[in-house]
Amino acid sequence: MTRAKSAVDPRLDAIALDASAPTPLYLQLTAQLVEAINGHKWKPGEALPAERVLCEQLQVSRVTLRQAMDALVEQGLVTRRQGAGTFVTSQITHPLTGLTSFSETLRMKGYQPGSQWLDRRIRPAHGEEILRLGLSPESRVASLTRLRRADDRVMAYEHAVIPQRVLPDPTEVGESLYAWLDEHGAPVVRALQYFRAINLTARMADYLGMDEGDAILHVVRVGYARDGSAIELTDTYCHNDFYDFVAELRR
């Protein structure tokens, strides 16, 4: 019985490998797949062709293909899902060298930012908020909790606290907190960020569509105004599959 040939993916037609070149085939394949993914031949979250399709259409062995895929996984460009296949990573790369809002970062990457507000209210400041924001014990703050989305995918759970004197009505904040602060003469001009790996609680896992106990990156940011006072305390829980932080180091 003759086995049916796997479906052809026209997006692979531009990939040309040269077995006579000094560069190993798997490195050639890796480089060309990186170029194709960065060129949006496959959308974030989309599955790559099945292994059989890739091997047959590109005329490479399974060993060569798996070496190339391992390299893509190491670069964070694709993720493997047991029993489902290999998918282009929907990661948002957030540089640590500048103060760019979540919404600005998404738009620069070609995504549509969105928010699902879970809570917006004025309430008394809590212990850590009083310390980090330099508030008096009787101070009140604007508390904003939401899910951050990119093209309808939940990327992060975010909880921000702003002194009430800076943000009297949290319901006025639209898509971008930083945009609101800029428009009202209270921009964040400097920030300190702290990173810590934690394990998800059941409640947080439900919000992010992950499993309880999964490791996740918890980012705490303290933002400062022009006069040096702390005006923002934000806790962000970033979905591992979709969010990367990158720092450029120079000598």
Is-above-0.85 flag for pTM? no
Give me the DSSP letters along 152-171: TEEEEEEEEEEETTT-S-GG
What distance in Å separates the CA atoms of residue 70 and residue 78, rounded to the nearest whole number?
9
* Token duo for residue 135: 């508030």
Is 190 within a domain? yes
pLDDT by residue for the chain (251 residues), tens digit each?
Answer: 444 455 688 888 889 899 888 888 888 898 888 888 877 888 877 889 988 999 999 999 999 999 988 888 876 778 888 888 888 876 555 554 555 566 666 665 566 778 899 999 999 999 889 988 989 889 999 999 999 887 778 888 999 999 999 999 999 998 889 889 999 999 998 888 888 889 989 998 999 888 899 888 898 989 998 888 899 999 999 876 655 555 555 55
Range of the domain at 22: 10-88
Number of domains making up the chain:
2
Do 62 and 162 fall within a single domain? no
Q: Which helix (H) or strand (E) holds 94?
A: strand 92-95
Is 3 within a domain? no
DSSP-based three-state secondary structure for 26 = helix
Is 182 within a domain? yes
What pLDDT, on a 0 to 100 scale, did the predictor assign at position 99?
A: 55
Do 67 and 111 fall within a single domain? no
* The domain boundary residue, chosen from 48, 67, 88: 88
CATH (domain of 56): 1.10.10.10
* The domain boundary residue, chosen from 88, 110, 128: 88
C-alpha neighbours within 13 Å on the C-beta side of residue 121: 5
Is 208 within a domain? yes
* The domain boundary residue, chosen from 46, 71, 88: 88
Is 221 within a domain? yes
Is residue 113 within 8 A of residue 107, CB to CB? The reply is yes
Is 219 within a domain? yes
Is 1 within a domain? no
* Token duo for residue 70: 């391992």
